[in-house]
Structure 1
Amino acid sequence: MVKLNFSRELRLLTPLQFKSVFEQPFRASTPEMTLLARQNNLTHPRLGLTVAKKHLKRAHDRNRVKRLVRESFRLRQHQLPACDFVFVAKGGIAKLDNVTFRQTLEKLWQRHIRLAQKS
């Protein structure tokens, strides 16, 4: 049976881990969000989130975005390549409803899956 958890080992936790992804990432972007990726030496993907107050003033809005991204990652983790992913929220993300947000994020995941298959 496939486990769909989001344990500590599936997260980027330290600034050094984030920095390595920001150095030379593969990018998939929309005007509202960017998904950066960089291959890791592990057998599983990991996720880091950056949701700034600059784009989402209220904490409950930032929490909603993070919750949706974590849930999407949790459900897709076994189809994703062994990469470190960093989700970056940009301006206009607050205007997206949950359905549109999920669809947009799904397209970004698919793009990274295709990029990993090419390389």
Structure 2
Amino acid sequence: MSDLDYRFSRESRLLTPKHFSFVFEQAIPAPSPCITILARNNNEQKPRLGITVPKKKVKNASDRNRIKRLIRESFRLSQHKLPNVDIIVIAKHGIGELSNTNLNKQLEKLWSKLNKRCRQAS
């Protein structure tokens, strides 16, 4: 067992509108057809995550919750590969039709893309 901490604690979350605004001001994007990830370097010792799944894009509450749960889990397992950035994951139209497997595959690709772009920007 490694010494890596795989918890998704309160400190790993973007909680306030101020945190979200900080990312939106100078975001580094990593888009895909169903998901856009925005990131901005932070002064924390780890990456932090915020998620938006608009009701307009995913009507069913159980689908919105499933999507958020999958995003959190993917982030939790990938956070050690990411630089110290604040991340916002924005769901787009069509994400509700993705299977769990396809959503996870897309997220893995986006974490990798984001990792490269953030390292180039710093």
Q: Does residue 51 of structure 1 match 2:59?
A: no
Superposed CA deviations along residues 6-27 of structure 1, whole A, max 9, x for unmatched, are 0000000000000111111000
* Over 3 Å off, 4+ runs: none
User: Distance between the aligned counterparts of 1:8 and 1:94, measured in 2?
Assistant: 26
Counterpart position of 1:76: 78
Matched residue of 1:77: which SS?
helix
**Matched-pair contact (CA < 8 Å) for 2:28–2:118:** no
After superposition, residues 2-41 of structure 1 pair within 5 angstroms as 2-41=4-43
Could you report, residue by residue, the CA deviation over 1:58-104 in whole angstroms, capped at 9, with x for unpaired residues? 11000000000000000011111000000000001111111111111
Q: Indicate the SS of the match to 1:4.
A: coil
Q: How large is the RMSD of aligned CA atoms in angstroms? A: 0.8
Name the SS for the 1:70 alignment partner: helix
TM-score, normalised to structure 2, is 0.95
Give the corresponding residue for 1:98: 100
Query: Following the alignment from structure 1 to structure 2, what is the Cα–Cα distance between the partners of residues 64 and 49?
Result: 12
Q: TM-score, normalised by structure 1?
A: 0.97
Letter in 2 for 1:66: K
Alignment length (residue pairs): 119
How much has 1:116 moved relative to structure 2? 2.5
3-state DSSP of counterpart to 1:56: coil
User: Where does residue 115 of structure 1 map in the other structure?
Assistant: 117
Gaps of 5+ in 1: none
Q: Report the equivalent of 2:62.
A: 60
Contact 2:36 2:92 in 1 (8 A): yes
